[in-house]
Structure 1
Amino acid sequence: MRIATTDVPGISSSVVWGIAMFVGGVFAQIASALLWSYPSGSPVLWIPGGLLFAALLTAHARCWPACLLGFLLGLVAFGVLTGSGPAGMLMLGLPVVVLVPATVWFLLRIPSHDDPIDRWPCLFGFMAFGMVALPLLSAAVVGWLNDWFDLQDPRLQDWQNVALSHALGYTLFVPAWASIVLRGELLQKSRRGGAFDVVFFGLALAFTWYIWKWFGELAALQPVLLLMPAPLIVWSAMRYHLAGVCVVVLAIAMMAIYISETGQGPFYAGSVGVTTRVVQVWTMLVAALSLLLGQAMEQLSSIRMALNDTHVEIRKLAGQLVATQEQERARIARELHDDVNQRLASASILLSMLKRKPPEAAREGMTRLQGQLYELSDAIRQLSHDLHPSMLKQTGLADALRRLCSTERYHNGPAIDVDVRGDTENLPEDVSLGLYRAAQEGLSNAIRHAFAQQIVITLEVDSYFASLTVEDDGRGFDANYDNRGASKGLGLVSIDDRARLLNGKFVIYTGVGKGARLCIQIPLRQHYQQERRLHA
């Protein structure tokens, strides 16, 4: 449940938090008092604990002391204003101001991500500590303080009721605050439902209220009445996921508590104490199951969205693959037509001319013809090497890169340096091929598009990674592209795709007029393990 907060709050922020917690503590205690069971005075739901928990999730850690002080003063002020005893309120609040910050501090250190798939550890941590351990410890400490100071406060003596009321406060308010206020999920998801969902929600609550109030005493219908909110909870989970579930459960819990206080509804058990316990246990069970359902629906929705994104990416990559294939075919066709075919035609014309000359006069022409055929053979060999670099298997990646750079230097003229560091002889074949293709594309971009005059290729291999860097002094390009390759050329996209297939990373550092540096890094351990399994 990791929440982003402001970096360094000032004194004014702490004062604001302290005042807000003072006012919030007073009104939260008033709301809790309105939900207490009379005449026994047993608390059904204790809201201030959930308020403090939510505030500490939101506030910066430097504001926590102000929040805790304001919270305690608010409880004491309530005790003074209502005559219910400031000492009892202080005993009720002291364990909370110690245990709640410790619980929040622990939960904030559980690894979490924005992705709903990764929120399960946070949810289970909250359920274990916020819904079980924290209320039990608070109730135990409250009971011990009540006996130690001999307060004889009946509200504090029943530790089971204190634990359940605290647990309900945390269960109903903290997830709702985290999902609705902090992450803004309900506001984001409500745009697709609109007024219809609000009207449906209100009518469903009104119908539940009516059935519970007027038919709650029928023993034959009680199992059905207890499960009556289930369809509404499932609907909210499907429509609004965890945020919707929190709102629905909170509304249903308030409704169940109020109806039970009037001596009506399916939870009424004859006495106020037993009725309070029934409402608390039922609400806790419904809330816990609803949180799990809401998180499961959120995960399902996230997986569905991820699958849709994957399908879109696959279609995009398929289109890029077709375009790359056509581009490569066009390049080979140009090489054959503009180079190989022209040389063959030139050799054919020369051979025809030599036919008409006597043998002695044809000697010089034969030498020229032989030279052209050698050049033609070299061009065909280079074309074949570009399609499939056989030198990788024969001499290794380092020599293949040196040969590539030598050829490009000979044909295109720029100064190209190769710096090889580490043992490159035992690289896996797929890694060597991926790095070689990256170097090919990097050189092609630097020479043909950036018009670079100085290019440096660095290959570095250690026990963990193989890294290749292609750096040039060319004209560069706009670096305002996203890391998924939305604005890259097909060549750079192919490097990015190769890097991802090899579980590696591909980064470009460039700017207009600043040259470019292409960096690709491939982890080696997984590839070494795969090769060992293949050769085992």
Structure 2
Amino acid sequence: MSLFGRIFLLNAVAMVAAVALLVLGPITVSTPALLAEILILVAGLAVLLVANAALIRLGLAPLERLTRAMTTIDLLKPGPRLTASGHGEIADLITTFNGMLDRLEAERGSSSARALSAQEAERRRVAQELHDEVGQSLTAVLLDLKRVADRAPAPTGDELRQVQETVRSTLDEVRRIARRLRPGVLEELGLVSALTALAAEISEHTDVAVRRTFDRHLPDLDEETELVVYRVAQEGLTNTVRHAGARRVELLLRSTSAGVELCVRDDGEGLGDSVEGAGIRGMRERALLVGADLAVGPAPRRGTEVRLVVRTSGRAS
């Protein structure tokens, strides 16, 4: 029965019941009406309205749940689908809404995969150009400066050597940026070695001490999943350095019953009431690509904790 039909039937039953009580029951109405008769009619009307309201609210409850779901849904945080309770159009509406969510999440996942793939390709291209063109040019400048400094008089030679050190620092920074854009260690030596190098780099170039704990035996992960884990760790550490005001950060990678768990936990100021930025949303998009669960929230004591759980059925290696 349609929603209109059910509401009409409820009201019709209530009206018929009221008329039947008036016709067949002992209730009469005098002219003019007596006070007792008025009180009986008012009480009957109140009972009728309350019963009608309760039945209608019960019938429309699935719509209220659907409305709450529509206002709170976030495609970056997939959750369980609504149960298609109710009858007729309500159940069909909930089923259609669930199907729409499935299509939207699939389309968002597909578009995010293409965007992130293009982003990684662009990072590799920029890193290659930095390494091959800018790096080689700076190396040539260093050699020229060394040759000129060795032939120049003492005061000029000292100034040229200072410039040479500046260029050498710039070359190191360019190489470091290239490594962050394209983690060659990840491709050549694997995830643990790449995370170790990342933690060492953060500790060396910032005031944040990184404590790393990695399990020796981890399930096998494909290249795409390893890249997602690495990028989430990289973004988590970068956010800690830039925004958390932390002194220590813990980088944890371990095997669990579900698969692999990555945890980045700092002792900084925490998230507070701040809105999630592009970095966190980027981590969520990456997690969705490999079907992983990402949680960003307060750490057990203080600070912020980023936790990524990658489900896998592979055996530990």
User: What range is the shorter-chain TM-score in?
Assistant: 0.5 to 0.7
TM-score by length of 1: 0.36
CA distance in 1, matches of 2:174, 2:140: 15
Q: Compared with structure 1, are the counterparts of its residues 342 and 416 closer, same or farther at alpha carbon in structure 2 (3 Å cutoff)?
A: farther
| Map of 2:189 onto structure 1 | 395
Q: Deviations over 1:450-474 (max 9, x none)?
A: 1211111111114531101111111
CA contact (8 A) 1:242 1:298 kept: no
Q: Deviations over 1:336-394 (max 9, x none)?
A: 9xx97997798488458527527x99998998788667655543432222122121232
| Map of 1:354 onto structure 2 | 149
CA distance in 2, matches of 1:464, 1:428: 16
1:500 and 2:288 are equivalent in the alignment: yes
| Map of 1:201 onto structure 2 | none
CA contact (8 A) 2:191 2:226 kept: yes
| Map of 2:221 onto structure 1 | 427
Of 161, 180, 197, which aligns to 1:386?
180
| Map of 2:297 onto structure 1 | 509
The number of aligned residues is 247
CA contact (8 A) 2:219 2:259 kept: no
| Map of 1:181 onto structure 2 | 58
Q: Compared with structure 1, are the counterparts of its residues 412 and 397 closer, same or farther at alpha carbon in structure 2 (3 Å cutoff)?
A: same
Q: Compared with structure 1, are the counterparts of its residues 395 and 297 closer, same or farther at alpha carbon in structure 2 (3 Å cutoff)?
A: same
| Map of 1:409 onto structure 2 | 203
CA distance in 2, matches of 1:306, 1:477: 29
1:521 and 2:316 are equivalent in the alignment: no
Q: Aligned-pair distance for 1:476?
A: 1.7
Question: 1:412-491 maps to which residues of 2 (within 5 A)?
Answer: 412-424=206-218, 426-462=220-256, 464-479=258-273, 487-491=275-279
CA distance in 2, matches of 1:433, 1:349: 39
Q: Compared with structure 1, are the counterparts of its residues 460 and 376 closer, same or farther at alpha carbon in structure 2 (3 Å cutoff)?
A: same
SS at match of 1:522: strand
CA contact (8 A) 1:179 1:186 kept: no
SS at match of 1:521: strand
CA contact (8 A) 1:242 1:294 kept: no
SS at match of 2:245: coil
Q: Aligned-pair distance for 1:424?
A: 2.8
TM-score by length of 2: 0.57
Q: Compared with structure 1, are the counterparts of its residues 461 and 362 closer, same or farther at alpha carbon in structure 2 (3 Å cutoff)?
A: farther
Bigger Rg over Cα: 1
Q: Compared with structure 1, are the counterparts of its residues 354 and 418 closer, same or farther at alpha carbon in structure 2 (3 Å cutoff)?
A: same
Q: Compared with structure 1, are the counterparts of its residues 507 and 479 closer, same or farther at alpha carbon in structure 2 (3 Å cutoff)?
A: farther
Q: Compared with structure 1, are the counterparts of its residues 365 and 356 closer, same or farther at alpha carbon in structure 2 (3 Å cutoff)?
A: same
CA contact (8 A) 1:469 1:520 kept: yes
Q: Aligned-pair distance for 1:520?
A: 0.8
Q: Which has the higher contact order (CA 8 A, sep 6+)?
A: 2
CA contact (8 A) 1:343 1:372 kept: no
CA distance in 2, matches of 1:365, 1:463: 61
Q: Compared with structure 1, are the counterparts of its residues 342 and 409 closer, same or farther at alpha carbon in structure 2 (3 Å cutoff)?
A: farther
Q: Aligned-pair distance for 1:477?
A: 2.1
CA distance in 2, matches of 1:422, 1:479: 38
The root-mean-square deviation of aligned C-alpha atoms, in Å, is: 5.4
CA distance in 1, matches of 2:209, 2:108: 38
Q: Compared with structure 1, are the counterparts of its residues 393 and 310 closer, same or farther at alpha carbon in structure 2 (3 Å cutoff)?
A: closer
Task: Extract unaligned runs of 5+ from structure 1.
Answer: 1-26, 35-80, 83-176, 190-240, 244-290, 481-486, 530-536
Give the residue type in structure 2 aligned to 1:354. A
Task: Extract unaligned runs of 5+ from structure 2.
Answer: 1-12, 27-53, 67-83
Q: Aligned-pair distance for 1:434?
A: 1.2
| Identity rate, percent | 22
| Map of 1:302 onto structure 2 | 97
Q: Aligned-pair distance for 1:430?
A: 2.1
Q: Compared with structure 1, are the counterparts of its residues 418 and 178 closer, same or farther at alpha carbon in structure 2 (3 Å cutoff)?
A: farther
Q: Compared with structure 1, are the counterparts of its residues 180 and 519 closer, same or farther at alpha carbon in structure 2 (3 Å cutoff)?
A: same
Question: 1:62-81 maps to which residues of 2 (within 5 A)?
Answer: none
CA distance in 2, matches of 1:366, 1:425: 53
CA distance in 1, matches of 2:215, 2:288: 23
CA distance in 2, matches of 1:385, 1:460: 24
